[in-house]
């Protein structure tokens, strides 16, 4: 099932992931399919990873990871089931080319490369204004 329209309700999106305020790094669900997702985040001053006009590297990586978690959370929401907690198994090949600034809209696209027995390998690309600022691969594991 694909997402008919983007979801901009921050509370709804936040309820689809296990992280809670102030550690939520996704605020919109822009597209969803069984094998991909695009999530967004507006860089605001009160974000815990914002400092001196810049959204820092750990926040960018956490945003990437939470986009993966959002895919799982929305998938379970569609099935009307409680989503399990997931963990980052590994991060590889991450390249950060630029850091977002105050007011920037970050968009992260995740493509599922492989999924088996609760382990998911994904390719991630993060952009601001259509320009790729970060990319990499991540492996996540669902808690049993």
Tens of pLDDT along 103-116?
999 999 999 999 89
Q: Which CATH superfamily is domain 10-142 in?
A: Hotdog Thioesterase (3.10.129.10)
With 90 as the cut, is the pLDDT of residue 58 above it?
yes
Distance of CA 68 to the CA centre of its chain: 5
With 80 as the cut, is the pLDDT of residue 121 above it?
yes
- Tokens linked to 138: 């991540």
> Sign of the CA dihedral 27, 39, 2, 120?
negative
Distance between CA 108 and CA 17 in Å, rounded? Answer: 15
With 90 as the cut, is the pLDDT of residue 1 above it?
no
Work out the average pLDDT over 38-45. Answer: 98
Distance between CA 18 and CA 26 in Å, rounded? Answer: 12
pTM, rounded to two decimals: 0.94
Which residue's structure tokens are 């669900």? Answer: 29
With 90 as the cut, is the pLDDT of residue 84 above it?
no
pLDDT band at 80 (very low <50, low <70, confident <90, very high): very high
**pLDDT value, residue 87:** 86
Asked if residues 82 and 137 have their Cβ atoms less than 8 Å apart, the reply is no
Work out the average pLDDT over 72-93. Answer: 90
Among residues 26, 33, 31, the alpha carbon closest in space to that of 12 is found at 26
Q: What is the DSSP letter of 99?
A: -
**pLDDT value, residue 99:** 97
Residue 86: which residues within 8 A CB-CB, separation 6 or more?
A: 18, 68, 69, 72, 140, 141, 142, 143
CA atoms within 13 A on the CB side of 144: 3
């Amino acid at each position: 099932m694909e997402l008919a329209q983007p979801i901009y309700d921050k509370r709804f999106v936040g309820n689809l992931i296990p992280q809670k305020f102030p550690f939520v790094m996704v605020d919109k669900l822009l597209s969803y399919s069984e094998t991909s997702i695009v999530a967004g985040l507006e860089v605001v001053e009160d974000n815990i990873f914002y400092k001196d006009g810049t959204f820092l590297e750990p926040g960018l990586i956490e945003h990437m990871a939470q986009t993966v978690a959002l895919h799982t959370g929305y998938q379970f929401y569609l099935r009307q089931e409680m989503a399990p907690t997931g963990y980052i198994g590994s991060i590889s090949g991450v390249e950060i080319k630029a850091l977002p600034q105050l007011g920037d809209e970050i968009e992260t696209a995740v493509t599922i490369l492989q999924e088996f027995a609760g382990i998911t390998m994904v390719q991630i690309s993060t952009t601001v204004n259509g320009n790729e600022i970060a990319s990499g691969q991540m492996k996540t594991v669902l808690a049993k």
